[in-house]
Amino acid sequence: MPEDWLNDAAKGYFVGISDGDLLYDSEWLVVRAVTIEQLLAMKLAAWRDAIDRNDARLLLSKMIGSAGDVWTKIEPFVPHDQINKASYAFDDLWESIHGSS
């Protein structure tokens, strides 16, 4: 594969490895999707309101539980230096969908 075959712009928001759906499997390459929890964590860490809000809203709508339960699933995938921004973005998004947490 050429060195630039995969866009690596999101690597600064990638923490850990989630066990998402298997997308491709061959003798030389295995490709998995990230889980909803990890993708939402990445969106919250990046949090460009005009760009990420709709994506984050869709991802959050697929998660079940209280605000605390959902945050507990997301938080391990948030880069440590982005935890405050992601937490604020999560609270703002949760309140816009569910009301006060």
Helix H or strand E segment including 22:
strand 22-25
pLDDT per residue as tens digits for the range 38-58: 999 999 999 988 888 999 999
Beta strand pairing call for 30-32 and 22-25? antiparallel
Per-chain mean pLDDT for the chain: 88
Domain range list for the chain:
11-98
Of residues 39 and 3, which shows the higher confidence score?
39
Helix H or strand E segment including 49:
helix 49-61
Please report where in the chains the tokens 């760009």 appear, as a residue: 51
pTM for this model (two decimals): 0.81
- Bridge partner residues of 31 (DSSP): 24
Query: What is the reported pLDDT for 79?
Result: 93
